[in-house]
Chain A
């Protein structure tokens, strides 16, 4: 193990390298480019023995990944924003085909107006594509999620592709000290990928076929069970990860000072760290506040989330996303969860950081102030009126 100064993208690339994929196919797009540049360099230098497929578009990138995965290869791709939307047609193909591809998505705003900076509308738009979705908070977690995602995706009970999301620029291009495991240390963490879902000349199969009304519901139900099974597999995987790499993760959610908190902000990605800093500041003033991070949005952490919010007087969902004409998508998910878990709690929605707008500490303090009104509703943070 070495400690290195890496950006989120570079850290992720090292995580992919340690996972030893057979095939990488990708098309460059800001702010994803440097992750595949790094991997291309590692392949070119012979440090990673993988086939790097240069494709002409994101649609082809995921199509090539699906083809490679179908013959039993461990496969990686990466994209962002419009690129993710361009490959959108292929996402349910990968999920429905149960191909355990791992994709890194650099969260970035979607057009128009054109913008290359970070928000989460791209991945949240595709929450229903059948992929498992996780959101990293820092470069270390990015590296670790790369390794863990292959384990989770390839587990037979899951057999579902995983999309790991890194906040554009605030994580992808920000440099931090990262512990990079050695090849020896990572040896054996990932078992070889084995599947019955494989194109093979020895055992010819009918693949990616039509399933009419008579069996379609059953296939989709099985797909649903696969994503749900990831809940347990993530816990198992994190235990295994701790044995190998001595770092601990907390499953579908992460909590900060929520134990006795009256007001809790629920968020995802890098915003978590800003909110935690604000929590420390307000706690020093005697305010009982806390923060909760959704590490995974699919499978959705219904039980963990409501258990954590149980004692609170009010919760707020802070997200870099808006579903136009409704509310933030994460908020919709959180409210639905509270409702069917039978937890009645004022819950408001704070839309912030669109198109890469900074979310300063002062805004987060205002959000905690607003939470004390114990109301529900939707607010755009820092809106110029």
Chain B
């Protein structure tokens, strides 16, 4: 998980890497257009990790026997909810 997304300093040419390869990411938090977010019920989740495989944005990571969702980048597409066979994921309206 990228922790220091906002710690990068690209305010000068010297800090820009010579190639687009960087330990961290250049993308800033972009979850603004989400209207609903997936929420996982860890009691229902059986750890099959189908949601992890299907997430088009790679924001679902394995977390022990269950999963963790990175809400900084989740676009709220709902594919994880659709693919979940245990109905462990439900979509919640963003406020």
Interface residues of A (CB under 8 A from B): 96-98, 159, 196-198, 203-212, 214-215, 218-219, 221-222, 226
Give bound CA distance, A207 to B21, whole Å: 4
Given contact pairs A205-B22, A206-B21, A210-B26, enumerate 9 new A-B contacts (beta carbons under 8 Å).
A96-B20, A97-B20, A97-B21, A196-B18, A206-B26, A207-B21, A208-B21, A211-B20, A215-B10
Question: Is there an interface contact between B19 and A209, defined as CB atoms closer than 8 Å?
Answer: no
One digit per residue, 1 when the CB lies within 8 angstroms of any chain A CB and 0 when it does not, for chain B 16-30 equals: 101111111111000
Docked CA distance A206–B1 (Å): 12
Determine whether the beta carbon of B25 is less than 8 Å from that of A209: yes
Decide: A197 near B10, CB < 8 A? Known: A206-B24, A210-B26, A211-B26: no
**Of listed B23, B24, B26, residue having the most chain A CB within 10 A:** B26
Chain B 31-50 interface mask (CB, 8 Å, partner A; 1/0): 00000000000000000000
Name the A residues within 8 Å of B16 (CB-CB). Answer: 215, 218-219, 222
Among B18, B24, B25, contact of A98 (Cβ-Cβ < 8 Å)? B18
Q: How far is the CB of B22 from chain A (nearest CB, A)?
A: 5
Q: Which of A159, A203, A221 contacts B19 (CB 8 A)?
A: A159
B85 to chain A, nearest CB (A): 31
Given A98-B18, A98-B19, A197-B18, A221 and B24 contact (CB-CB distance below 8 Å): no
- B5 to A: closest C-beta gap in Å: 10
Decide if A209 touches B10 in the complex (CB within 8 Å): no
Q: Is the interface of A mostly helix, strand, loop or mixed?
A: loop
> Could you say which of B16, B20, B25, B26 has the most chain A C-beta atoms within 10 Å of its C-beta?
B20
B22 contact set on A, CB distance < 8 A? 205-206, 209
In the docked arrangement, what's the CA distance between A196 and B10, Å?
18
Which listed residue, B2, B21, B25, touches A198 by the CB 8 Å rule?
B21
- Binding site of B, secondary structure by majority: helix, strand, loop or mixed? loop
Per-residue CB proximity of B56-72 to A under 8 Å, as 1/0?
A: 00000000000000000
Minimum C-beta distance from B64 to chain A (A): 21
For A203, list chain B residues within 8 Å (CB). Answer: 23
Residue of A nearest to B23 (CB): A205
Task: Kindly list chain B residues whose C-beta atoms are within 8 Å of the C-beta of A159.
Answer: 18-19
- Using known A-B contacts A218-B13, A221-B13, determine if residue A208 contacts B20 with beta carbons closer than 8 Å: yes
Known: A206-B25, A209-B25, A210-B26. A197 touches B19 (CB 8 A): yes
**Bound Cα distance from A159 to B19, whole angstroms:** 9
Partner of A214, one of B2, B10, B13, B19: B10
- B6 CB to nearest chain A CB (Å): 14
Question: CA A211 – CA B28 in complex, angstroms?
Answer: 11
Q: What is the chain A residue whose CB lies nearest that of B25? A: A206
Which of B2, B21, B25 is within 8 Å of A196, CB to CB?
A: B21
Interface centre among B10, B13, B19, B24, by most chain A C-beta atoms within 10 angstroms, is: B19
User: A195: nearest residue on chain B (CB-CB)?
Assistant: B19
Q: With A and B bound together, what is the CA distance between A204 and B13 in angstroms? A: 23
Nearest CB to that of A199 among chain B residues? B21
A12→B90 CA distance, assembly (Å): 61
Q: Could you give 30 example pairs across A and B, Cβ below 8 Å? A: A97-B20, A97-B21, A159-B18, A159-B19, A196-B21, A197-B19, A197-B21, A198-B21, A203-B23, A204-B23, A205-B21, A205-B22, A206-B21, A206-B24, A206-B25, A208-B20, A209-B20, A209-B26, A209-B27, A210-B26, A212-B26, A214-B10, A215-B10, A215-B26, A218-B13, A218-B16, A219-B16, A219-B20, A221-B13, A226-B18
User: How far, in Å, is A73 (CB) from chain B's closest CB?
Assistant: 15
- Rounded to whole angstroms, the CA-CA distance of A204 and B21 in the bound complex is 10
Question: A297 → chain B, closest Cβ, in Å?
Answer: 23
A44 to chain B, nearest CB (A): 34
The answer to whether B10 touches A218, judged by C-beta atoms less than 8 angstroms apart, is yes
Q: Once the chains are docked, how many angstroms separate the CA of A296 from the CA of B25?
A: 36
Chain A, residue nearest B10 (CB): A215
Residues of B within 8 A of A197 (CB): 18-19, 21
Kindly list chain A residues whose C-beta atoms are within 8 Å of the C-beta of B21: 97, 196-198, 205-208
Q: Please name the residue on chain B nearest to A96 by beta carbon.
A: B20
Once the chains are docked, how many angstroms separate the CA of A206 from the CA of B2? 10
Which residue on chain B has the smallest CB distance to residue A99? B19
Q: How far is the CA of A211 from the CA of B27 in the complex (A)?
A: 8
Q: How far is the CA of A91 from the CA of B2 in the complex (A)?
A: 30
CB distance from B11 to the nearest CB of A (A): 10
Query: Most B CB atoms within 10 A — which of A97, A204, A218?
Result: A218
